Every structure is written in C-alpha cells, then in structure tokens.
Amino acid sequence: MTTKSALRQDVLAKVRAFHAAGQAERTAFRPGQDPVHYAGRVHDADELMTLVDSSLDFWLTAGRFTEEFETGLADFLGIETLLTVNSGSSANLVAFSTLTSPKLGERRIRPGDEVITVAAGFPTTVNPIIQNGAVPVFVDVQLGTYTPTLDAIQAAIGPKTKAVMMAHTMGVPFELRELRDLCDRHHLWLIEDNCDALGSRYDGQYTGTFGHLATLSFYPAHHITMGEGGAVLTNFDELARIARSFRDWGRDCYCSGGENNTCGKRFSQQFGTLPHGYDHKYVYSHIGYNLKITDMQAAVGCAQLRKLPRFIDDRQRNHARLAAGLARHADKLILHTAPPKADPSWFGYVITVRPDSTVTRADLVGALEAARIETRNLFCGNLLRHPAYQNISHRVVGTLDNTDIITTNTFFIGVYPGLSDPMIDHILAVFDGVLQSLKPKT
C-alpha cells in the first residue's frame, strides 16, 4: 500500500523535476534586449518544494514552518524574539503601536509626543507615527550614505521627544551604537526600520539588534522573500508580549494557534470589569489587528533563510563591482558610501547626480531605462512634498536641503543576487557611454 509519506515524497520529486525543466529552458543574457531588474525573487527548487510540502499539511495558518523560520532567523541575528507579520509595513505599525501600550506606564508614547525621523525614505516608516497621533520631527540626511548625522538627531531632541524611528536606508546602517547611547541618556525609545538591511552590521553587530524594537520585510525586492511578509524583533520580553498582542487582534492571551491555557490561568484571572475568571483567550488589552502570516509563506522563508549568507555576499560583491566601475564618474555623480563602522548588506546602489553636473537625472535614467536597466527613485524623496503629507502636524529641525536634492537628483539600481557579471558589465558600459556622450546641461 502506498503511504501518505511516500506519496508526499513522490510529489516533491515531481516538483524538483518541474523546476529543473524550467532551468533547462533559460537562455544566456542578451545586453540591451533582456531586462536588468533592480530586484527580484531568487530561488531554486527548494522554495517550490517547501511551499508544496506545507500545502500538503493544509495547516494554512502559522504552524511548523513559521516556528522553524522565526527560530532560525532569530538565531542567525542573535535576537531574543522574532515575531512574523504579514508585511514590513505591518511590522513598523506593530513596532510603533507597541510603544503606545498603557502597560508601559509613563514611558508609553501618547498623542502629541514627538518622534525623530527623516523625510527621505519609504512612507510606512513615518506613517505609524502619524496614525498613532504622534508628531514626526524631521532631520536632514547626508548625501552618499542617506542617513542623518548623530548631531542632527541630538539637535532635534525636545521636551516632547519620546522616540527615534528611522530606516537603515538602502541597507546602510546609521551610527547605531552611538545613537542607542544617545537614546538611553535621554530615555528615548529606538525603533530600527531594518526592512532594507537584513544582514547589515554596525561595529560587528547585526542591525536590528541595537534598538528596543526593529522590523524586517520579506517582500520580493528584499534580501529574502516569502512573497508578502515581515517581522518584529526585540530583546525585551515585555515589548515582545505587547507586540504579539497588537498583531493578534489585541488579545491579552499569548497562546499560539491551536494551543490553550499556556499560562495555566485561563479561567482564574481578573481583567478590568469583566467577571472574575473570564476566558483569557477572549480578553483584549489593546486595540489591535490581525497581521499574521500563513505557514505557506513561512515555508518559502525557511528555504530562503538557508541562502541568506550567500545572498549577503552576492549583494556586497555586486555593490563593490558597481562602486569600482562608477568611481571614474565621481566628478558627475555622488557615489554610494557607508559610515566608517558600517558593513552594509546593500539593498541597491544609490546615485545622486551632482547639482553642478553637466547631466541631469532624467538624462541618465532615460538612457539606462532605454538600455533595459531598471532604475528607481530613492522611494518618495522628500515625503513632505507629497499630497498626503501636506497638512500633517510635524516639525523640521534645520533644513531639508539634501532631502530636496534627493527628490530631484537621486535614483538607484540593483545589486540583488539575481544580477550576473554580464549584467553588471552592461550596466557599467551604459554609464560610460551616457556620461561621455551626453550634451552639457542647459
């Protein structure tokens, strides 16, 4: 008799053969004809096999693969708790909402409190601040690293400041150890938006492990993917418990799916004005959400996690090749750099066309796109110039001059592991041709 286990192995063998057939149909890269993407999914048969394996379980919600992924990535980073959510943006929402919990007493962030951040980034780093009624305080960033200086952050601290929440933009760590020390001296929370920076290090330590909370994204453009997905990281048990509550409908109970009475006090506690002994599974201590992932997403993540060290190496290698090839154009371009103690796991290669250059961003981007090389702006440029943010309560400390330059002069190209050497050769050849042939800016 054929067993379920044997049938499962037969199915998985077919999946591996299906992937191999697809690989056999691939053709060599043709410069100028085939696209050079800025990012994309990089996978092999393992991702397909774990995905199908999880579907055969038909567990659907968080299960064995979710536990394996959360434990494996937490161990890789050296973090106490890693809580998966359904996107990096949701991770930012959960992380910030965690700091609004009444359980934190006087340290909780209340409406009207200020949070220091930057305007040059992705909107969902800032949105949770606004959505929770707090006031973002914007500081400028440096061109080249696209991170703010410690002095700029320190100058923005005021009597209402409760936290700093910023991204390691494009994988470049800001001065993390020094900023954490500054936050501790002023009793501020630090949230690292680490969505672009999985595998980056600062002073020898992984980003995402310095702050009180940190976040990750597993969208296909990011370092590893599960389609949609994200995570909240913390080394603090109380913050982990609160974050789990916000993720899981706001409930006070922290049992995993399918579990009951983990705390051993399910029917013997007092909460608010509820009857004594009210079922803990249905006690709500926060106005929460449902932001969990499925086990099928986690299954893909497990296979991706095994490739993470290679992905980091590939990103660093590709970035180094672009840096070496573009160095000869440093008179026209501000090239991508990192602070002295930073060891980035780069998200992309960021380029700012010098304001006094003889070319414009439109000239350069137009030529690259015509050569089928994908480009992207540095996300939203100056967030405050977008319609949705015209009337928000905020404060700006100093100027946003560099942020405005980013809005008009900055873009990035890919360094993801899917790039081959011939693709990078093509990129550099196009840069050389464009910068040597374009007419001076009028």
Which residues does the annotation mark as catalytic?
222
Show the tokens assigned to 108.
């909780």
Query: What is the number of other CB atoms lying within 10 angstroms of the CB of residue 180?
Result: 18
Distance (Å, whole) CA 136 – CA 138: 6
Query: What is the number of other CB atoms lying within 10 angstroms of the CB of residue 274?
Result: 13
Main-chain phi, psi angles of 364, to 5 degrees: -70, -45
Does residue 350 sit in helix, strand or coil? strand
Beta-strand relationship, 161-167 and 230-234: unpaired
Show the tokens assigned to 292.
């969990």
Q: Nearest-CA neighbor of 73 among 174, 210, 218?
A: 218
CA 114 to each of CA 125, 316, 379: distance values in angstroms, whole numbers, following the listed order: 14, 36, 24
Do 171 and 197 touch, CB atoms closer than 8 A?
A: yes
Query: What is the number of other CB atoms lying within 10 angstroms of the CB of residue 345?
Result: 26
Distance (Å, whole) CA 197 – CA 216: 8
Which residues does residue 214 pair with via DSSP β-bridges, in sequence order? 192, 233
H-type helices in 343-420, by residue range? Answer: 361-370, 401-409
Distance (Å, whole) CA 407 – CA 152: 20
